[in-house]
Amino acid sequence: MKKSTKILLYGSIISTLYIILCIFIQKDAFISRAENLISENRIEKSKIDNTQNSNLPSKEIETIEEINPPQKDNTNQDRKDNLIDTNITISTDIEDKNLEQNITKSDTNSSNNITTDIEQNNIEDDIEIAQNKITEILKKKKINFYRNRAKLTPQSKRTLKEIIAIIKDIPNIKIDVRGYTDASGKKSVNKWISEARAKSVKLYLGSHGINPDIIDYKGLGEDNLLYKNKPYSHLNRRVEIEIKRR
């Protein structure tokens, strides 16, 4: 190939490359210009449409507005409704829980009251049974003392041990010990000796497992004779023991 032909060929290639390079460099400008032209066309078209709408009669405009009423934003209302529903649900749950707790508490209190009543009835039954046993023992085995003294006889101590075995395991009781004499002798002396003998019984019970604080004693002398037609009979001399619920 001749030298001149080569030069022409190379020149054409370089020109073509230069044109491509220029187009590549300016492509953003071309695209921006095209977008501007499109935007201008849209604006012009919008102006024309607005002008046409403004020329419509007022009745047609009102009709258009009626057909396309503005939409309300119900977002806030929906949020309020949801909040109210949530509050109602929470309030209902709390009320249900409180009701369940009150029912449970009421059932527990009722159960405790029933249990307490049963226990009290059982204690009273135990006291009544024990008192009947003590009364029967004292009818058969009187608590006796040495003559003109407040000292217990051995037989009386055995009798008191039987009574202790009956009452020592009964809770919440009070014990009353009452001493009596016959009508022989001076009244003041009789009262004194009856009180000393009742105290002697209390001391014996207290020294054999019975709490002394629950024992009350009193001497009544010749009051409340068992045999009023025989005021001087030794059968009027006695010590009575009574138990009751404290």
Q: What is the pLDDT of the chain when averaged over all its residues?
A: 78
* Residue pair 231/182 in contact by the 8 Å Cβ criterion: yes
| Confidence category of residue 197, pLDDT binned at 50, 70, 90 | very high
% of the chain surpassing 90 pLDDT: 42
CA distance 88 to 8: 92
CA distance 113 to 106: 10
Q: What is the predicted pLDDT for the residue at 86?
A: 57
CA distance 144 to 133: 19
Structure confidence by residue, pLDDT tens digits, 73-83: 555 555 555 55
* pLDDT of 234 above 70: yes
| Confidence category of residue 212, pLDDT binned at 50, 70, 90 | very high
Structure confidence by residue, pLDDT tens digits, 148-194: 899 999 999 999 999 999 999 899 999 999 999 999 989 999 999 99
CA distance 129 to 122: 10
In order of their start, the domains of the chain are: 126-245 (3.30.1330.60)
Tokens 């024992």 sit at which residue?
215
Q: What is the predicted pLDDT for the residue at 84?
A: 52
Q: What is the predicted pLDDT for the residue at 167?
A: 93
Task: Note the residue count of the chain.
Answer: 246
Q: What is the predicted pLDDT for the residue at 31?
A: 72
